[in-house]
Amino acid sequence: MELPFIKEAVSQLFSKTSCEMYPAVPSEAAPRYRGRIKYDADKCIGCGMCQRVCSGGAITMDKEEVEDGTKITLTFNLGSCTFCNTCADFCSTKSIELTGDYHMIATKEEDLIVTGTHVKPKPVKKAPPAAAPAAKTEAPTAPAVAARDDGKPVQDPSKCVYCTICAKKCPQGALEVDRANKVWKCNYDDCVACGNCANVCPKKAIVC
């Protein structure tokens, strides 16, 4: 009886393999591969934008009031993540990165969890600056807009068109814009200085 596959099987024993000998030989991921998430909690400002844009619902944020401020824990479930990179794209502080690590086969759910914690300090309320004497000029001029030292936004009313885009893009809901009455207001206690409002302002009327 003929066994047509024996010859082929024997010949393959002495031929060079056509695949990579992984894991015996380490192999790098392909360029621009999006693998295991790396989260740097020290850079995070807790704005929550990553959680809002996550299509897979893989990001959760837990907050706990502690003596020094608010303890914020961000958790990424790689079992639900689609590795679309949207969270990293929207992160204004670059605290989220998708690495080239593709070793994500796990037998325990906790092996697919990436988490980190930081404490957001309590906001410091500053006393309002003393009113400066009015300059004696023939015609009033628009005041210069100076940035705050805490990175939170300041509006330039000479440029603002009250389009409300900044308020819509604020992840904390800290901005209020009344287009009809031309009023721009920021709740600085809620603001996390993420800079999104300044980035989306079409008139560059916000200084951070």
What are the pLDDT tens digits along the chain (208 aa)? 466 677 777 777 778 777 777 778 888 899 999 999 999 999 998 989 999 999 999 999 999 999 989 999 999 999 999 999 999 999 989 999 999 999 888 999 999 999 999 998 887 766 666 666 666 655 555 456 788 888 899 999 999 999 999 998 898 899 999 988 999 999 998 898 888 899 889 889 999 8
Asked whether the beta carbons of 168 and 155 are under 8 A apart, the reply is no
Residue 125 pLDDT: 67
Residue 141 has phi, psi (to 5 degrees) of: -120, 155
Residue 126 pLDDT: 64
Kindly report the pTM of this predicted structure.
0.65
Residue 138 pLDDT: 56
Residue 193 pLDDT: 87
What is the C-alpha separation between 15 and 31, in angstroms, rounded?
A: 30
